């Protein structure tokens, strides 16, 4: 659906986007991540035809974004971070107006209006003035606007920006449902949303792509060591000596608890798990064991590892 090859955008001497390349397959929900100033919004604006690229190429649904800009725009539904709405219009009026701009009319326009009002949960507020709606409903109106012409690709820039937790959950569920019929490129700072919603992640920093893979593969490839925590009644010096003898263990720290219990934090090499060995060790040494857990990496840790400056 999206093919980007060495795409760049320069503002004078500043390279906002520096020869990025990645692909998005049809039907995927892809999280487009990066810190502030990384080049995310500039990339989205190039893909949607708002900005011309300085160099490189990109194709959407097989159409060149520069040479076939109008054809590309017909296939894209774009929801910017700050959705520009005509707040003096009613929801239904606004969608009718936007649909007409997209070339819809008559029965086709009425049909699409009914579908997007239902899909985006706006049927109950269709006659209300947009200025009277909550932030969450305004976001839904912006999403309905992006969907009115049945685009192949949805590009969403911070769709949950400024929403409360309940509204975020509702928009997340809506995006998941839309992913059944549309390809979605989702730019957001809420990494937990990406883990729950997206089946692929592209991380950009300093105008360059730092990683592009599934969330799970990115977590599994982290350079940072894994961590296992075990609580048992064991002498600290003896336990530390025994645990550090395991090949995959890089470091052990300990903490004294109440009633003779001690907590050991065991740092292990990436993609290893020493819980079985620790359980066997406690059994062999007759050390009472009450908890044994492995800390699972998160997409947030991957993001920090790839984009931190220190």
Cα-trace Rg, the chain: 25
Structure tokens at 60: 């959407």
Task: Based on the fold, state whether residues 92 and 13 are members of the same structural domain.
Answer: yes
CA 294 to chain centre: 25
Whether 308 maps to a domain, the answer reads no
Task: Based on the fold, state whether residues 65 and 211 are members of the same structural domain.
Answer: yes
CA 66 to chain centre: 27
The domain boundary, picked from 187, 220, 253, lies at: 220
What pLDDT sits at residue 60? 92
Distance CA 135, CA 77 (A): 20
* Beta-strand pair 63-64/55-60: antiparallel
Enclosing domain of residue 160: 2-220
- How many domains would you assign to the chain? 2
pLDDT one digit per residue (tens) for the chain, 310 residues: 899 999 999 998 899 999 999 999 988 999 999 888 889 989 999 998 888 999 999 999 889 988 888 898 889 999 988 888 999 999 999 999 999 999 999 999 999 999 999 988 899 999 999 999 998 899 899 999 999 999 999 999 888 877 888 888 888 888 888 888 889 999 988 887 788 889 899 999 989 999 888 888 887 776 555 789 999 999 999 999 999 999 989 889 999 999 899 999 998 887 778 899 999 999 999 999 999 998 777 787 778 878 876 5
- Least Cα distance to 296 among 201, 246, 228, 212 occurs for 228
- Give the residue carrying structure tokens 């503002």: 11
Task: Based on the fold, state whether residues 87 and 132 are members of the same structural domain.
Answer: yes
Distance CA 188, CA 194 (A): 8
Task: Based on the fold, state whether residues 152 and 82 are members of the same structural domain.
Answer: yes
The domain boundary, picked from 220, 239, 274, lies at: 220
Question: C-alpha angle with apex 40: 134 to 168, nearest 5 degrees?
Answer: 30
Task: Based on the fold, state whether residues 7 and 79 are members of the same structural domain.
Answer: yes
Task: Print the SS3 string covering the chain.
Answer: CEEEEEEEEEECCEEEEEEEEEEECCCCEEEEECCCCCCHHHHHHHHCCCCCCCEEEEEECCEECCCCHHHHHHCEEEECCCCCCCCCCEHHHHHHHHHHHCCCCHHHHHHHHHHHHHHCCCHHHCCCEHHHCCHHHHHHHHHHHHHCCCCCEEEEECCCCCCCHHHHHHHHHHHHHHCCCCEEEEECCCHHHHHHHCCEEEEEECCEEEEEECHHHHHHCCCCCEEEEEEECCCHHHHHHHHHCCCCEEEEEEEECCCCCEEEEEEECCCCCCHHHHHHHHHHHCCCEEEEEEECCCHHHHHHHHHCCC
Whether 141 maps to a domain, the answer reads yes
Task: Based on the fold, state whether residues 130 and 241 are members of the same structural domain.
Answer: no
Structure tokens at 224: 């940072």
What pLDDT sits at residue 254? 93
What pLDDT sits at residue 176? 87
Task: Based on the fold, state whether residues 215 and 232 are members of the same structural domain.
Answer: no
């Amino acid at each position: 659906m999206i093919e980007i090859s060495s795409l760049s955008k320069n503002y004078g001497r500043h390279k906002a986007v520096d020869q990025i390349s990645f692909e998005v397959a049809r039907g995927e929900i892809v999280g487009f991540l990066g810190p502030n100033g990384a080049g995310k919004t500039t990339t989205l604006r190039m893909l949607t035809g708002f900005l011309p690229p300085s160099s490189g190429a990109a194709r959407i649904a097989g159409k060149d974004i520069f040479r076939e800009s109008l054809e590309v725009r017909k296939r894209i539904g774009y929801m910017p971070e700050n959705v520009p709405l005509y707040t003096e219009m009613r929801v239904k009026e606004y969608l009718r107006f936007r649909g007409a701009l997209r070339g819809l009319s008559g029965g086709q326009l009425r049909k699409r209006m009914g579908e997007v009002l239902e899909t985006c949960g706006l049927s109950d507020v269709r006659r209300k003035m947009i200025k009277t709606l909550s932030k969450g409903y305004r976001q839904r109106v912006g999403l309905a606007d992006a969907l009115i012409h049945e685009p192949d690709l949805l590009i969403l820039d911070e769709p949950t920006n400024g929403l409360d937790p309940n509204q975020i959950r509702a928009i997340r569920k809506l995006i998941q449902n839309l992913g059944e019929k549309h390809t979605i490129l989702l730019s957001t700072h809420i990494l937990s949303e990406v883990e729950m919603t997206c089946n692929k992640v592209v991380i950009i920093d300093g105008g360059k792509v730092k990683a592009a893979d599934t969330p799970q593969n990115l977590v599994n490839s982290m350079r940072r060591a894994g961590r296992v925590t075990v609580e048992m009644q064991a002498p600290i010096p003896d336990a530390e000596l025994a645990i550090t003898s395991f090949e995959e263990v890089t470091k052990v720290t300990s903490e004294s608890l109440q009633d003779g219990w001690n907590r050991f934090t065991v740092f292990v090499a990436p993609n290893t798990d020493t819980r079985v060995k620790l359980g066997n060790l406690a059994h062999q040494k007759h050390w009472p064991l009450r908890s044994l857990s492995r800390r699972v990496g998160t997409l947030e840790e991957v993001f920090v590892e790839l984009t931190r400056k220190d």
